[in-house]
C-alpha cells in the first residue's frame, strides 16, 4: 500500500516535472473566497491576474468559491484532477477545508494558503501561508494609540464581526499591547461594528451617550472607524478625539488627509496577491520557505501618509 | 370585530401584550442606566431605528397580506449602492428618482411572481435575496461607493439633517407610518389586504383581485426599501455592497414583535412601530449598561417570546392554553 502511494506520488511528480520542463511554465490554480463581495477581494483578484500575466513562465487557473465552502472543496478537487503544479487557496472556512488540502497533499501538489489561514489541523498539509499578520496589526494600532494620547486617556473599541479570525486577532493584538505599553490608557468598552459602517456609527452614538469623556477610538477597520468618526462629528465631539483603524480604506485615507483621522494600518490587496503568487513560485522552485509568510503591513499616519498611494477601495 | 374582542376578555391591559412588554422593559432599563431615558439618547435611538423601521412598515403590509419578504436586505444594499453611486454621476435630484424606479422594478418582480404566478413567497424572496446581492456585485464590481463632497451636498438632509428641530429620519419614519396606518386602517385597499391575508378564498369570492393586491403590497415594500436607502446612504455617505445583509431578519423580528401574525390577516402598522422601537432600545440599553454584545441576541429572543406569549394569551383570555 505504502509503496503504491509512493509510486503514485513519484509518477505525479514526474508528470508535473515533465510538463514544467517541456513548456518551461508552471501551472498554478487559485480558488478564492468571494470575489466581488468587497473591494479588497476584487482588487486582489485583479492584482493576482496582472502579476501572473507579467511572468511569462506562469500559467494560472483562477477560480472563485463565491463564499461557498462546498464549491471551494470541489474546485480543489478539480485542480487536483487537472494536476496543476501548485494550488493557492483563500479559505472560505479554515476548518472545513482541511480534508481537501490533505487530498492535495496526498496527490503531491503543494498548497499555499493566502490571506486568512487554515485551521491548525491543516497546517501539516500546506506548503506555506501567505498573508497579513493581524495580531501584529492590532499591536501597531495600540502603539499608535499610545503615541497619539501620550500614554494617558480613555478609549473605546469597535471590533469586526464577532467570531471572525481577523476580528479576534486584531482585538487580541491591540488589547495585549495596549495593556503592556500604555497602562495609563483605559478601555471603557468594546462592542462589535460587524465590519459595517452604519452599524459602527450606531455603536459609537451609544458610546457617546454613555461616556462624557472619550479620548480615542480604535476600530477593527477604517470603514468602521469612519462610521465612528461620522457619529462623533454629528455629536460635535470629534475635536481632539483620536481615531485609529486598520486596513486603510480610501475613506480613511481621505479623512486622514483632512486631519480628522489619526492613523491606520496599510494593507494592500496588491501586495497580498503578489506575495501569494511569489510564495507559490518559491515553493515550486524548491526554496526554503517559512511556514508563515507575512507580508509587510506598515503603520500609516497623517505624518507619513504621502509615502503611500491612496487605497483603491 | 369589537364583539369578539370583548368576548376574548381578560384585563384590558393584557390585550396589549407588546405595549406591556415595552413599558416593563423601558422601566427596567431606566432603573439600570440614568442615561437611558435622557432626551438625547431617546432621539438618537429613534433616529437609529428609522432605517429598520421604514423597511418594517412595508414588510408589515406584505405579511398582513399573507406573504413574506426576505429580499428587503439585499434590496436595501442594491438601492443604497445605486443612489450613492449615481449621486456623484448624475446628481442627487436625478439619482433619487432613478433609484426609486429601479427598486420598484425589483418589487414588481417579487409581486408578479407571488401575486400573479402564485408562487410561494418564501421561495421567491429567498431567491431574490441572493439574486439581488449578485446584481449589486455585478453593478459595482465589488467596489465600495462613496460620496466625494460630503459637506456640500443637499443629499445630507435625509440622514443628517433635521426638519423643524426633529431629525429627518424620524420625520420620514413617522410620516410614512402615519400614511400607511391611515391606508391600512381606513381605506379600501387596507381592508382588501387584511381580507386577502385572512382568507384568500373568501376574498376572491368577494370580488377582490387577490393577485393585484399582493402585487401592490410588494411594490409598497420596495418603495419603503428605497426610502430606507435614502436615509442610509445620506447618513453614511457611502455604501458597502452587502450593507443590508441580515437586515431582513431584524425587520422580520420587529414585525413579529409587533404582533403581526405570520399567517396573514392580522397585525397593524402602529404595533410594528412599537416593535421597531423596542428592538432598537434593547440594543441601545444593553450597550449603555455595558453588557457584552451577545446579551443582545439572548435578550432579543427572550423579549420576542414574552411579547408573543402575552399577545397569544390576550387573544385567548388566559395565560396557559385551555387545551393541555
In order of A69, A99, A102, A117, B242, the CA distances from A95 in angstroms are: 10, 9, 12, 10, 24
The second-level CATH assignment, the architecture, of A134-266 is 3-Layer(aba) Sandwich (3.40)
Interface probe, candidates B283, B287, B288, B292, chain A, greatest A C-beta count within 10 A:
B287
Residue B262 distance to chain A (closest CA, Å)? 28
Q: What is the dihedral of CA A112, A115, A120, A125, to 10 degrees?
A: -10
Give the pLDDT band (50/70/90) at residue A11. Answer: very low
**With contact defined as beta carbons under 8 Å apart, do B55 and B224 qualify?**
yes
pLDDT tens, position by position, B231-278: 999 999 999 888 998 899 999 999 988 888 888 999 999 999 999 998
Q: Do B144 and A202 touch (CB under 8 A)?
A: no
Evaluate if residue B102 carries a pLDDT over 70. yes
Evaluate if residue A178 carries a pLDDT over 60. yes
**With contact defined as beta carbons under 8 Å apart, do B146 and B237 qualify?**
yes
More confident: A96 or A145: A145
Interface probe, candidates A162, A198, A213, A310, chain B, greatest B C-beta count within 10 A:
A198
Evaluate if residue A16 carries a pLDDT over 70. no
Q: Tell me the residue range of the domain where B178 lies.
A: 11-316
Task: State the pLDDT at residue B324.
Answer: 58
Task: State the pLDDT at residue A19.
Answer: 45
Q: Do B146 and A202 touch (CB under 8 A)?
A: no
Evaluate if residue B323 carries a pLDDT over 80. no
A230 contacts on B by Cβ (under 8 Å): 235-237
DSSP B187: S
- Nearest-by-Cβ selection for A198 from B41, B141, B232: B232
Q: Do A39 and B235 touch (CB under 8 A)?
A: no
Establish if B150 belongs to a structural domain: yes
How many structural domains does chain B have? 1
Residue of B nearest to A194 (CA): B243
Evaluate if residue A89 carries a pLDDT over 60. yes
Evaluate if residue B197 carries a pLDDT over 70. yes
Question: Which residue reads 457611502 in cell numbers?
Answer: B238
User: How many other CB atoms are there within 10 angstroms of residue A162's CB atom?
Assistant: 15
Task: State the pLDDT at residue B288.
Answer: 87
User: How many other CB atoms are there within 10 angstroms of residue B260's CB atom?
Assistant: 28
Average pLDDT on B291-318 reads: 79
Residue B207 sits at the chain A interface (C-beta within 8 Å): no
Helix (H, G, I), strand (E, B) or coil at A166: helix
Evaluate if residue B106 carries a pLDDT over 80. yes
* In chain B, residues 235-274 whose CB comes closer than 8 Å to chain A: 235-238, 240-243
Average pLDDT on B163-172 reads: 94
Q: Do A192 and B238 touch (CB under 8 A)?
A: no
**With contact defined as beta carbons under 8 Å apart, do A224 and A195 qualify?**
yes
Q: Dihedral of CA B103/B107/B110/B112: which sign?
A: negative
Give the pLDDT band (50/70/90) at residue B15. Answer: low
CA angle A134, A139, A141 (to 5 degrees): 95
Average pLDDT on A1-6 reads: 42
Distance CA(A278)–CA(A47), nearest Å, equals 13
Residue B152 sits at the chain A interface (C-beta within 8 Å): no
More confident: B26 or B158: B158
For residue A62, what is its C-alpha cell?
483562477
- CATH code, B64: 1.10.3470
Distance CA(A73)–CA(A45), nearest Å, equals 19
Beta strands in chain A (DSSP E): 26-32, 58-64, 86-89, 111-114, 128-131, 153-159, 185-192, 216-219, 242-244, 263-265, 292-294, 299-301
Establish if B299 belongs to a structural domain: yes
Evaluate if residue A251 carries a pLDDT over 50. yes
What pTM was computed for the model? 0.82
- Nearest-by-Cβ selection for A251 from B146, B235, B287: B146
Distance CA(A52)–CA(A49), nearest Å, equals 5
Q: Do A209 and B235 touch (CB under 8 A)?
A: no
Helix (H, G, I), strand (E, B) or coil at A244: strand
Question: Which residue reads 418594517 in cell numbers?
Answer: B56
- Write down the mean pLDDT value for chain B: 89
End-to-end distance of chain B based on CA atoms, in angstroms?
A: 27
Interface probe, candidates A187, A206, A221, A229, chain B, greatest B C-beta count within 10 A:
A206
Task: State the pLDDT at residue A71.
Answer: 92
Q: Do A207 and B40 touch (CB under 8 A)?
A: no
Establish if B275 belongs to a structural domain: yes
Evaluate if residue B312 carries a pLDDT over 80. no
Evaluate if residue B129 carries a pLDDT over 70. yes
- Judged by average pLDDT, the poorest of B72-76, B158-162, B294-298 is B294-298
Task: State the pLDDT at residue A246.
Answer: 93
Please state the domain extents for chain A: 2-132+269-296, 134-266
Residue of A nearest to B149 (CA): A254
Pairing of strands A299-301, A263-265: antiparallel
In 3D space, the residue among A187, A193, A130 whose CA is nearest the CA of residue A164 turns out to be A193
Residues above pLDDT 70, as percent of chain B: 94
Task: State the pLDDT at residue B52.
Answer: 96
Task: State the pLDDT at residue B13.
Answer: 53
Sequence-ordered alpha helix ranges (H) in B15-120: 17-32, 39-64, 72-90, 92-111
Would you list which residues of chain A are within 8 Å, Cβ to Cβ, of chain B? 35-39, 41-42, 162, 189, 191-192, 195-198, 201-203, 205-207, 209-210, 223, 226-227, 230, 234, 249-251, 312-313
More confident: B233 or A68: B233
Give the pLDDT band (50/70/90) at residue B32. Answer: confident
- Judged by average pLDDT, the poorest of A115-119, A277-281, B111-115, B120-124 is A115-119
In 3D space, the residue among B47, B78, B51, B222 whose CA is nearest the CA of residue B145 turns out to be B78
Q: Do A38 and B51 touch (CB under 8 A)?
A: no
ipTM: 0.81
Give the pLDDT band (50/70/90) at residue B3. Answer: very low
Interface probe, candidates B36, B144, B228, chain A, greatest A C-beta count within 10 A:
B144
Superfamily for A2-132+269-296? Response regulator (3.40.50.2300)
Residue B284 sits at the chain A interface (C-beta within 8 Å): yes
**With contact defined as beta carbons under 8 Å apart, do B140 and B241 qualify?**
yes
Average pLDDT on A173-195 reads: 95
Give the pLDDT band (50/70/90) at residue A81. Answer: very high
More confident: A18 or A60: A60
B282 contacts on A by Cβ (under 8 Å): none
**With contact defined as beta carbons under 8 Å apart, do B110 and B222 qualify?**
yes
Question: Which element (helix H / strand E) includes B238?
Answer: strand B238-239
- Judged by average pLDDT, the poorest of A48-57, A123-132, B127-136, B277-286 is B277-286
Is A180 buried (19+), middle (13-18) or exposed (0-12) by CB count in 10 A?
A: exposed
Q: Do domains A2-132+269-296 and A134-266 have the same CATH topology?
A: yes
- Write down the mean pLDDT value for chain A: 89
For residue A175, what is its C-alpha cell?
488589547
Evaluate if residue A180 carries a pLDDT over 90. yes
Amino acid at each position: 500500500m505504502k509503496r503504491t502511494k509512493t509510486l503514485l506520488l513519484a509518477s505525479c511528480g514526474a508528470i508535473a516535472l515533465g510538463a514544467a520542463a517541456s513548456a518551461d511554465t508552471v501551472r498554478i490554480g487559485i480558488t478564492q473566497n468571494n470575489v466581488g463581495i468587497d473591494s479588497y477581494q476584487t482588487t486582489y483578484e485583479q492584482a493576482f491576474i496582472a502579476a501572473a500575466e507579467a511572468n511569462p513562465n506562469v500559467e494560472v487557473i483562477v477560480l472563485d468559491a463565491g463564499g461557498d465552502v462546498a464549491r471551494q472543496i470541489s474546485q480543489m478537487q478539480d485542480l487536483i484532477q487537472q494536476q496543476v503544479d501548485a494550488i493557492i487557496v483563500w479559505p472560505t472556512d479554515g476548518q472545513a477545508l482541511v480534508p481537501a488540502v490533505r487530498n492535495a497533499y496526498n496527490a503531491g501538489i503543494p498548497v499555499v494558503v493566502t490571506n486568512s489561514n487554515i485551521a491548525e489541523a491543516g497546517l501539516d498539509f500546506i506548503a506555506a501561508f501567505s498573508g497579513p499578520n493581524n495580531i501584529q496589526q492590532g499591536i501597531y494600532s495600540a502603539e499608535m494609540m499610545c503615541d497619539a494620547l501620550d500614554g494617558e486617556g480613555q478609549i473605546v473599541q469597535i471590533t469586526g464581526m464577532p467570531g471572525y479570525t481577523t476580528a479576534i486577532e486584531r482585538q487580541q493584538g491591540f488589547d495585549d499591547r495596549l495593556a503592556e505599553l500604555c497602562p495609563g490608557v483605559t478601555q471603557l468598552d468594546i462592542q462589535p461594528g460587524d465590519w459595517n459602517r452604519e452599524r459602527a456609527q450606531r455603536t459609537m452614538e451609544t458610546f457617546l451617550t454613555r461616556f462624557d469623556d472619550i479620548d480615542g477610538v480604535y476600530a477593527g477597520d477604517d470603514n468602521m472607524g469612519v462610521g465612528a468618526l461620522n457619529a462623533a462629528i454629528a455629536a460635535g465631539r470629534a475635536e481632539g478625539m483620536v481615531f485609529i483603524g486598520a486596513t486603510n480604506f480610501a475613506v480613511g485615507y481621505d479623512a486622514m488627509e483632512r486631519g480628522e483621522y489619526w492613523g491606520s494600518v496599510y494593507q494592500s490587496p496588491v501586495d497580498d496577491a503578489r506575495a501569494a503568487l511569489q510564495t507559490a513560485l518559491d515553493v515550486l522552485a524548491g526554496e526554503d520557505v517559512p511556514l508563515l509568510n507575512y507580508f509587510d503591513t506598515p503603520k500609516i499616519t497623517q505624518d507619513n501618509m504621502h509615502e503611500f498611494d491612496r487605497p483603491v477601495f | 370585530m369589537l364583539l369578539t374582542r370583548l368576548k376574548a376578555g381578560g384585563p384590558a391591559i393584557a390585550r396589549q401584550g407588546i405595549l406591556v412588554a415595552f413599558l416593563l422593559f423601558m422601566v427596567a432599563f431606566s432603573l439600570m442606566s440614568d442615561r437611558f431615558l435622557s432626551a438625547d439618547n431617546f432621539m438618537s435611538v429613534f433616529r437609529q431605528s428609522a432605517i429598520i423601521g421604514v423597511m418594517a412598515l412595508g414588510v408589515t403590509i406584505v405579511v398582513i397580506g399573507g406573504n413574506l419578504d426576505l429580499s428587503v436586505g439585499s434590496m436595501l444594499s442594491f438601492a443604497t449602492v445605486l443612489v450613492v453611486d449615481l449621486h456623484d454621476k448624475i446628481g442627487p435630484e436625478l439619482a433619487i428618482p432613478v433609484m426609486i424606479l429601479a427598486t420598484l422594478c425589483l418589487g414588481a418582480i417579487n409581486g408578479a411572481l407571488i401575486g400573479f404566478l402564485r408562487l410561494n413567497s418564501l421561495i421567491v424572496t429567498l431567491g431574490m435575496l441572493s439574486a439581488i446581492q449578485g446584481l449589486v456585485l455585478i453593478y459595482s464590481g465589488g467596489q465600495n461607493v462613496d460620496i466625494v463632497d460630503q459637506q456640500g451636498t443637499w443629499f445630507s438632509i435625509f440622514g443628517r439633517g433635521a426638519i423643524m428641530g426633529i431629525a429627518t429620519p424620524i420625520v420620514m419614519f413617522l410620516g410614512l407610518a402615519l400614511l400607511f396606518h391611515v391606508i391600512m386602517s381606513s381605506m379600501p385597499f387596507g381592508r382588501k389586504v387584511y381580507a386577502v391575508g385572512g382568507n384568500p378564498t373568501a376574498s376572491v369570492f368577494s370580488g377582490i383581485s387577490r393577485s393585484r393586491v399582493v402585487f401592490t403590497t410588494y411594490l409598497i415594500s420596495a418603495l419603503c426599501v428605497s426610502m430606507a436607502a435614502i436615509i442610509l446612504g445620506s447618513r453614511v455617505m457611502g455604501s458597502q455592497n452587502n450593507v443590508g445583509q441580515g437586515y431582513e431578519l431584524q425587520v422580520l423580528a420587529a414585525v413579529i414583535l409587533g404582533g403581526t401574525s405570520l399567517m396573514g390577516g392580522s397585525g397593524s402598522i402602529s404595533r410594528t412601530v412599537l416593535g421597531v422601537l423596542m428592538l432598537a432600545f434593547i440594543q441601545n440599553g444593553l450597550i449603555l449598561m455595558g453588557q457584552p454584545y451577545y446579551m443582545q441576541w439572548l435578550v432579543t429572543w427572550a423579549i420576542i417570546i414574552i411579547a408573543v406569549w402575552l399577545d397569544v394569551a390576550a387573544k385567548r383570555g388566559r395565560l396557559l392554553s385551555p387545551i393541555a
